Amino acid sequence: MARLPRFVLPGYPQHVIQRGNNHERILYEEEDYWFLWEKIGAAAEKFGCELHAYVLMPNHFHLLLTPHLDNGVGKLMQYVGRYYVQHFNARYQRTGTLWEGRYRATLLDPKHFLLPVCHYVEANPVRAGLVKSVGDYGWSSYGANARGDDDPLVTAHAEYERLGRSAKARRAAYAAQAEQPLDEALLTRIRDATNKAWVLGDQAYCESIETALNRRALPRQRGGDRRSAAYRRATGRA
C-alpha cells in the first residue's frame, strides 16, 4: 500500500516521534544526548522550525514544533537523522539502520491540544519509570517551560504565552498543569493520531485541514462512508 503524504502546513504545530529500530537504544552516554540535542537545535534554526517541547529518551525522541517553511519538519528530521546515525555508528563501531523507518507525525489544533501534547511529551520519562517526577528528568523541555531554565531549543508558543501575564505566572500555571496526569482517553487519542498520521483536533478543525490540503484528516468510520455512492447503492438509496 502506498504511503500517504504527511500533513504539511507552515504555521501549524506538529508532534513528531522517531524511534530506534526494534525499540533498541539510540542514546547511551551523555555525549550522545548532547550531540542529538545540538543537532535538533541546529536543524530547527536551519529549516525554520520553532520547538515548543521535546524529550530525548533512551530509545526514541519526541518533538513538538511549528514549521514555518514548506517541508521544514521533513528536512529537520532528515538532517538530524543523518548526522546522528553517523555519530552513533562511528562511536559504537556499527553499521546499518538505526531508526524504525520513517518518523511519525501528526498535525494538531494548538488551541485544544498544544499544551496537553507538551505535557504528554515531557511526562514520557515518568510513564516509562525512569523518574518519579517530570522535573527530575534532565533531557526534556520541562525545565524551560516550568522553571525558566535556559534552553535555546525551546520557543514559547502563543498558547503557552496565554497562561499568564508574566513569565513567572506562565511557568507556575504550566507546572501546575503538568502535575495533573493526562487521562487515558486523551493519552490514547494523542498516541493514535501520531502513530496513524491523522490530524489531532475536533471535527471543525479537521474539516478545515481537509479543505486546505484536499485530503482526509480523520479515518473513515467503520462500516464505510455512509455519504458515499457505494453506500447509497448498497442500501437502495441511490
Residues 6 or more apart whose CB falls under 8 angstroms from that of 75 comprise 43, 46, 47, 69
What is the structure's pLDDT at 212?
84
Residues sharing a CB contact under 8 Å with residue 234, sequence separation 6 or more, in sequence order: none
The predicted model scores a pTM of 0.88
Question: Which residues are CB-contacts of 123 (< 8 A; sequence separation ≥ 6)?
Answer: 134, 178, 181, 182
For each successive 10 residues of the chain (238 residues), what is the average pLDDT? 68 96 95 98 98 98 96 96 97 94 93 97 97 96 97 98 97 96 94 90 89 76 52 45
Provide the CATH topology of domain 14-201: Alpha-Beta Plaits (3.30.70)
Q: CA-CA distance, 12 to 8, in Å (whole number)? A: 8
Cell of 159: 498558547
CB of 123 closer than 8 Å to CB of 181: yes
Q: What is the predicted pLDDT for the residue at 63?
A: 98
Instruction: Return phi, psi of residue 147, to 5°.
Output: -120, -15
